[in-house]
């Protein structure tokens, strides 16, 4: 049996292991010095004022929405071509969720669809409080245009950059929040760097940082300036918000600190693999990922689209043929509005046709920094055979 090639996987070095073991030998497994060290490392890399590590990107999105005041009666808009977490965070806060269809070239939120939807929403008095653009596959959304619309219509922006640490938009690092209120990263093992489970929220706004910091730890503060009355003593803290336990451990942060040292190397390797795929796929009836000139992707995914009209087999058959060859192809994403939970909220198939059409044609090929050339060639020859 041929070795299974996953669609994504972590890259763990001996230095990563040592970094984690050092924490296990230390006094602090959680709430110690390594979490702030990891936060500083990411904030410095991105050029952002504040970074709050949490136990997942999902928690970070949730805390970000709450920090921006999202609640009942509000609307949150995101892309249908994303993981369910980008939308669920709105529902956690009691808000209503809607979607903006995707651009057929980038598979990111379409600026023209967003513009049209905002015009209608303004007339109906249903403008969104928060829009969450998702940097699909690591390619930045067109943030300048989204920022201009936010200024005109008064919504807040959370970038779901779960795929995109190490990527750039207009030569500046994704995560610098130049065009947004908050940016969120994920450190799940399939993402660009990992802490096993983990996420981070970045912002340049001190008030948002302070709120998210409280929300990740029960809504508790130890800052006397925020107390409603004088301190009872050195042990004293106050709960001033309803928060959660969204904290990252120092064990995880140690892995993050160590992984950050190889972030650029990871992204370079991903670019090299994507370039090889681009070359090897050129004569096949598939569409390779298109790169917007303003973006320098972290290349989290390599999604191809099948030219189904030129093919005898359907997508399912091609997918199955690849899986039968132990190629761990995957699919990103099932449009969120077609999930049963969202259908029960009133969404229907047909609501976001570009995302649905993309879903019918898409297959994600394996891509991760340690993917060897011989595996890449196995992926291509299996794909050729299937097509």
Ligand X SMILES: *Cc1c(COP(=O)(O)O)cnc(C)c1O
Q: Which residues bind ligand X (CB under 6 A)?
A: 56-58, 82-83, 85-86, 134, 160, 162-163, 186, 188, 199
Name 160's bridge partners: 134, 184
The least distance separating ligand X from the CB of residue 133, rounded to whole angstroms, comes to 10
**Residue among 41 and 162 whose Cβ is closer to ligand X:** 162
Q: Which is nearer to ligand X, 183 or 217 (CB)?
A: 183
Centre a 10 Å sphere on the Cβ of residue 348 and count the other Cβ atoms it contains: 10
Min. distance of Cβ 317 from ligand X in angstroms? Answer: 27
Distance of CA 313 to the CA centre of its chain: 32
C-alpha 121/C-alpha 284 separation (Å) is 42
**Minimum distance from CB of 384 to ligand X (Å)?**
29
What distances in angstroms separate CA 248 from CA 37, 207, 217, 265, one per listed residue?
12, 21, 10, 25
- Output 132 or 380, the one with its CB closest to ligand X: 132
Residue the block writes with tokens 């998210």: 212
Nearer to ligand X, 186 or 259 (CB): 186
Instruction: State the minimum distance, in angstroms, from the CB of residue 1 to ligand X.
Output: 30
Specify the residue, 23 or 85, whose C-beta has the smaller distance to ligand X: 85
Other Cβ atoms within 10 Å of 145 Cβ, number: 17
Interior angle at CA 179, CA 254 and CA 103, nearest 5: 100
163 versus 262: smaller Cβ distance to ligand X: 163
φ and ψ at residue 220, rounded to 5 degrees? -95, 140
Residues 6+ away with beta carbon under 8 Å from 242: 219
In angstroms, what is the minimal distance from the CB of 85 to ligand X? 4
Tell me the C-alpha to C-alpha distance, in Å, between residue 131 and each of 17, 74, 143.
Answer: 38, 11, 11
Q: CB of residue 56 vs ligand X: minimum separation in angstroms?
A: 3
- Minimum CB separation of residue 125 from ligand X in Å reads 29
Q: Give φ, ψ of 77 to 5 degrees.
A: -115, 140
- 3-state SS, 333-382, equals CCCHHHCHHHHCCCCCCCCCHHHHHHHHHEEEECCCCCCCHHHHHHHHHH
Q: Which is nearer to ligand X, 186 or 221 (CB)?
A: 186
């Amino acid at each position: 049996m041929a070795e299974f090639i996953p669609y994504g996987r972590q890259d763990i070095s001996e230095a990563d292991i040592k970094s984690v073991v050092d924490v296990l030998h230390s006094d602090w497994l959680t709430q110690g010095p390594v979490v702030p060290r990891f936060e500083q490392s990411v904030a410095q890399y991105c050029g952002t004022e504040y970074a709050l590590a949490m136990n997942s990107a999902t928690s970070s999105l949730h805390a970000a929405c709450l920090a921006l005041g999202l609640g009942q009666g509000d609307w949150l808009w995101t892309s249908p071509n994303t993981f369910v977490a980008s939308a669920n965070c709105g529902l956690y806060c009691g808000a209503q969720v809607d979607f903006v269809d995707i651009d057929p070239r980038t598979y990111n939120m379409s600026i023209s669809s967003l513009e049209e939807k905002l015009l209608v929403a303004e007339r109906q008095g249903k403008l969104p409080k928060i829009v969450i653009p998702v940097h699909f596959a690591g390619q930045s959304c067109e943030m300048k245009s989204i920022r201009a619309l936010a200024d005109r219509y008064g919504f807040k922006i959370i970038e779901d950059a779960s795929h995109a640490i190490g990527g750039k938009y207009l030569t500046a690092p994704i995560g610098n929040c130049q065009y947004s209120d908050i940016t969120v990263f994920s450190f799940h093992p399939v993402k660009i760097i990992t802490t096993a489970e983990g996420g981070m929220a970045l912002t340049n706004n001190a008030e948002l940082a302070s709120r998210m910091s409280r929300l990740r730890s029960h809504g508790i503060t130890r800052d006397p300036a925020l107390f409603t009355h004088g301190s009872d003593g050195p042990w004293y803290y106050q709960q001033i918000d309803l928060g959660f336990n969204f904290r990252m451990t120092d064990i995880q942060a140690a892995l993050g600190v160590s992984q950050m040292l190889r972030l650029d190397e990871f992204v370079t390797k991903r670019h090299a693999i994507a370039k090889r795929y681009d070359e090897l796929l050129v004569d096949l009836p598939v569409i390779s990922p298109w790169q917007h000139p303003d973006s320098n992707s972290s290349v989290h995914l390599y999604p191809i689209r099948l030219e189904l009209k030129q093919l005898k087999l359907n997508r399912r058959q091609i997918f199955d043929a690849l899986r039968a060859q132990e190629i761990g192809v995957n699919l990103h994403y099932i449009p969120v509005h077609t999930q049963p939970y969202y259908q029960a909220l009133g969404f229907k198939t047909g609501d976001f046709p570009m995302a649905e059409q993309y879903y019918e044609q898409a297959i994600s090929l394996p891509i991760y920094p340690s993917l060897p050339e011989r595996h890449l060639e196995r992926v291509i020859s299996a794909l050729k055979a299937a097509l």
